[in-house]
Amino acid sequence: MDRKYRFFLSLGFGLLSLAGTALAGAPAVGGSALPKAALPEIRKIELQPSSLGLANASDARQVLVWGIAADGQKYDLTDIATLEPGSGVKIVDGRYIAPVAAGDTQVKVSAAGQSIALPVKVAGIDTPDIRFGKDVMPVLASTGCNMGTCHGSAQGKNGFKLSLRGYDADYDYNVLVNALQGRRVNRVEPDKSLMLMKPAGIVPHEGKQVIKPGDRHYNIIRDWIAQGLKPETELKTAKPTKIEVVPAMVALDIAGRTQRIVVVAHYADGSTRDVTRDAVFSASNIEAVQVDGAKVTGLRRGEAAVLVRYEGAYAAVGVSIMGDRAGFAFKPTAEYNFIDKHVNAKLEKRKILPSEECTDADYLRRVYLDLTGLPPTADVARAFLTSQSPSQEKRRQLVDQLLGSKDYVAIWSNKWADLLQCNQKALGEKGVWAFREWIRESIAQNKPYDQFAYELITAQGSNLTNPAVNYYRALKDLDDKKQLTPNKMTEDISQTFLGVRFNCNKCHDHPFEKWTQQQYYEFGAFFARVSFKPGTRAGEEIVYTNFRGGENIYPKTTMALAPHVPYGEQPNLEDARVRQEAFARWMTSKDNPLFARSYVNRTWSYFFGVGIIDPVDDIRASNPPSNPELLDALTDEFVKSGFNMQQLVRTIVTSRTYQASVVANHWNNDDKINFSHFLPRRLSAEQMMDAVGLAAGVKPKVQGLPDGMRAVYLADGLTDTGSDFLKLFGRPKRETACECERTSNMSLAHALNLVNGPLISGAVTDPASSIGKLVEKEKDNRKVVEEIYLGTLSRMPTAEEMKLADELGTDPKQRLDVAQDVAWALMNSPAFLFNR
């Protein structure tokens, strides 16, 4: 076997082994049914709520039955409880309590050998009219009729289209009652209505049978038709103002345990109703949680969020499955700042033991890569590792040295160039370099984040003299008629600076959030007057405000909408020179709940591989933070610092949490979201190219840049670098606002490129490489091996690794060949290719 491949195999196959693991995939979760979790002895039971009030004959409600064990632990017994109704009430659908006669009564609830009385007060037994918005629309949603896969799709199905998830009740009422000369309903013989016979399977229906004659859904629609298809005076009032989910948090002790959820809708008139049967449930982590209607089952230890949707209202319920933690004992770890306090509190609650603190060598390489995009040189590594200063003292000194350095500015400018879509296709050669330099200067000055964002949003003038206007040029968008629209500005600004994906509500109300289609166009109205015209110089374009036009037309009404922010206090348009200025003041305010929060979360992800909310640019109720207290504390500190971006970075990298070892222990090896141990991250395309050049002592050669300049200095995401390396390893084209445009996946193609491609082999065998100079200058083979390890992995070789010195021998050619092979193998190892 070739010697360098033998070294390669001894180091663990490098990226190739990791690619193979990724390709093989993880074992499937599920398959066979989970065994039913046994209950401990139950000492008493409790009810939630402890009493019920029923308003009318249509009001049916349920209660949760809790079993309390000797240790105080609560278990959901709702599914095994029996209900014995007193006079005046009855039990429907197994667990719903419905009225029969007005007055006070009770229901006897029994479970696990215990019993308790549930007081019930029936206010009346009148039967209210069936209402379209409040009664019929929920049926269309819960049966899936208005989902995107059925009649809620953009084109509808077989000529019948409903609004997606019922966001437009007026439209739906008209299409059901009046369209096609009213043939979908039969007022004389309701049971012969097409809108009943189709879903009931009485006549052919592509969607099969979704309701059955005589069931609750069928009867609701039938009675509505029989009562005369009464429209409501104001359909919007039929939607709930909010939904309340009980319990607010689901905590399951072991896999197999279940929990029922109750959903109560609240309305503007103060009334409430149990809407659990018609609510829609989904889980964020289907490997940990199974959702079957309102029943949540834990599949394995983990955390998830269950999203509950009902008629445009949303709520998220956190779910945690503890699993078997017998023998666990939390050992308090050092807390270097407030980050560690909040992380440790969550770890103790979840019974996770954090990993040991990383070594000085690990920290040195880790923080160098994160703050500068480069590993340290061999000389820097040796000096740091041999320093006798206390570990934390020299680590803090190192951070202060790197923050604001030339290389720090380079890598963080590159991150912002990605986000702000700095590409030559949109900006031209002059514009792209001017914008890249403006970004670099802003990072070098440590410009406060609110000022940085404000200057971008309010920028006007020439792209050559005020380079910040290139951001608007990158977001320039034309519709099908080649007319300028503010749509890309609306979507990318909200995603970049607020962490909200507003593109989902362009065509309809957001399917999983509170944002509406109208809010999309009101938001866009702030940018509807941003206009462009050619300048007098080559490559010049002027960004200006067109005060004579530029209104945003709401397609539903074809009317222009005034600017209006989707939440918070409305900005004063009269006090602003242009609309963008009013918007920028609102967006960058310290009181804006998303501006600082989204940036803090995004920055955190750069150091840990995942955000506290992840994806980082998809903040919504159904995507809650893994540690809300940590995110709140970081946000508050960032605002108090005056939006100091470097201070935020310093706080993160000097925390004990950031300094955790990559080596997991028995109690945290399955943790991916609580930051109990460091998660390896593959180097970015530019980092990898620069790291190889630095380790081999070869100046990088990147097309489009002067010799010796790092890949991160490329101003344009579309520049042809003369090879496919940067493209293959995930460098983005910078055409979207999504962090996902940059990729760090692992595949066989990546592994083969590193093993057989020219990047690493060419660097280590280059005549100008420092490896050749090292072998020629240094006659001590042990020092040669030591220097190669320091230059590639930023650490000393172990005693076992030092045996490689024997391989070098004394022959000059053999010494060079072996040294090059060792360097090649190390550069193909996970320890080099990943930040650990």
State the distance between the two ends of the chain, measured CA to CA, in whole angstroms.
30
Give the integer Cα–Cα distance in Å for 214 and 212: 6
Preceding peptide of 615 cis, ω within 30°: yes
Confidence of residue 233 (pLDDT cuts 50, 70, 90): low
Give the integer Cα–Cα distance in Å for 710 and 694: 10
CB 263 within 8 A of CB 274: yes
Three-state secondary structure of 539-574: CCEEEEECCCCCCEEECCCCEEECCCCCCCCCCCCC
| 444 contact partners, CB below 8 Å, separation of at least 6 | 404, 409
- pLDDT tops 50 at residue 825: yes
Query: 743-752: which pairs have CB atoms within 8 A and are 24 or more residues apart?
Result: 744/681, 744/682, 744/684, 745/22, 746/15, 746/18, 746/19, 746/22, 746/682, 747/19, 747/22, 747/23, 748/16, 748/19, 748/20, 748/23, 750/15, 750/19, 751/14, 751/15, 751/16, 751/18, 751/19, 752/16
Angle between helix axes 391-402 and 360-372 (nearest 10 degrees) is: 10
Give the integer Cα–Cα distance in Å for 486 and 524: 6
Instruction: Pull the structure tokens for residue 593.
Output: 């709940």
Instruction: Pull the structure tokens for residue 409.
Output: 């500015």
**90, 102, 273, 625, 809 from 86: Cα distances, Å:** 8, 12, 22, 45, 95
- pLDDT tops 90 at residue 434: yes
Give the integer Cα–Cα distance in Å for 565 and 152: 28
User: What is the pLDDT, as a whole number, of residue 532?
Assistant: 96
CB 825 within 8 A of CB 781: no
Whole-structure pTM over 0.85, yes or no? yes
Angle between helix axes 406-419 and 424-444 (nearest 10 degrees) is: 140
Residues 394-419 have a mean pLDDT of 97
| 679 contact partners, CB below 8 Å, separation of at least 6 | 608, 609, 610, 662, 672
What b/e string do you get for 322-361 counting C-beta neighbours within 10 Å, with b at 16 or more? bbeeeeeeeeebeebebbbbbbbebbeebbbbbbebbebb
pLDDT tens digits for 511-520? 667 788 899 9
User: What is the pLDDT, as a whole number, of residue 417?
Assistant: 96
Q: For 484, phi and psi rounded to 5 degrees?
A: -65, 130
Q: Give the dihedral of Cα atoms 460, 466, 467, 469; nearest 10 deg.
A: 0
Give the integer Cα–Cα distance in Å for 688 and 609: 17
- pLDDT tops 90 at residue 395: yes
What's CA 294's distance to the chain center, in Å? 25
- pLDDT tops 80 at residue 665: yes
- pLDDT tops 50 at residue 28: no
Give the integer Cα–Cα distance in Å for 456 and 711: 25
Nearest Cα residue to 692 out of 375, 378, 468, 416: 375
How is 484-547 classified by DSSP, letter by letter?
Answer: EESHHHHHHHHHHHT---GGGGSSSS-TTSS--HHHHHHHHGGGTTEEEEE-SSTT-EEEEE-T
Q: Does the 240-321 domain belong in CATH 3.90.1640.10?
A: no
CATH fold for the domain made of 42-122: Immunoglobulin-like (2.60.40)
**115, 258, 375, 796, 815 from 775: Cα distances, Å:** 84, 66, 22, 18, 7
- pLDDT tops 70 at residue 423: yes
CB 467 within 8 A of CB 460: no
What ranges do the domains of the chain cover? 42-122, 132-229, 240-321, 448-587
- Strand extents, DSSP E, 19-124: 42-48, 52-54, 64-69, 74-76, 82-85, 89-92, 96-99, 103-111, 114-122
Residues 56-83 have a mean pLDDT of 96
User: What is the pLDDT, as a whole number, of residue 7?
Assistant: 62
- pLDDT tops 90 at residue 804: yes
Confidence of residue 447 (pLDDT cuts 50, 70, 90): very high
Which residue reads 């989910």 in tokens?
Answer: 245
CB 556 within 8 A of CB 518: yes
- pLDDT tops 50 at residue 24: no
